[in-house]
């Protein structure tokens, strides 16, 4: 069961890593142009493009989190430090998911289509990933 949860979390994060890798190379997949991509994934007024450096760093973080999820599936890997990291990441991802529905977040990131995508996709995804990390931590402890 723990490997199934870890694999699901990993595949989601790998997909994010692949998309952001393409953005770091100047591609706009799955969006048709740079402006619309920025409006869809940044959400701040005035954003006109996704910065390649930030996209590359996001790719590295997503890939690292995916590898961490797979590591959490092994009860003896990494010891208490890995368990604690999984707990913190789960909490942070859940906080991000909840924040997406809060008015202060919406004031910071009002741009469409980001605002709609955040409510329908990004926040639920963050909540799901956070729950996945917490489940992996719980399964490590049981």
**Model pLDDT for residues 67-121, shown as the tens digit of each residue:** 999 999 999 999 999 999 999 999 999 999 999 999 999 999 999 999 999 999 9
Q: Which residues contact 17 (CB under 8 A, 6 or more apart)?
A: 59, 60, 62, 63, 66
Average pLDDT, the chain: 97
Q: How confident is the model at residue 12 (pLDDT cuts 50, 70, 90)?
A: very high
pTM of the entire structure? 0.95
Phi, psi angle pair for 130, to nearest 5°: -60, -45
**Sign of the alpha-carbon dihedral angle for 101, 104, 108, 112:** positive
Q: How far apart are the first and last CA of the chain?
A: 12
Confidence category of residue 30, pLDDT binned at 50, 70, 90: very high
């Amino acid at each position: 069961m723990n490997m199934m949860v870890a694999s699901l979390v990993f595949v989601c994060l790998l997909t994010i890593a692949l998309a952001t890798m393409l953005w770091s190379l100047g591609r706009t997949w799955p969006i048709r142009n740079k402006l619309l991509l920025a409006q869809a994934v940044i959400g701040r007024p005035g954003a006109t493009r996704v910065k390649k450096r930030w996209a590359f760093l996001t790719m590295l973080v997503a890939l690292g989190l995916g590898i961490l999820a797979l590591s959490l599936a092994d009860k003896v890997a990494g010891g208490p430090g890995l368990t604690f990291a999984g707990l913190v990441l789960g909490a942070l991802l859940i906080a991000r998911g909840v924040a997406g529905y809060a008015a202060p977040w919406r004031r910071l990131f009002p741009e469409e289509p980001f605002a709609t995508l955040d409510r329908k996709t990004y926040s639920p995804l963050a909540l799901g990933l956070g729950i996945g990390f917490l489940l992996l931590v719980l399964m490590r402890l049981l």
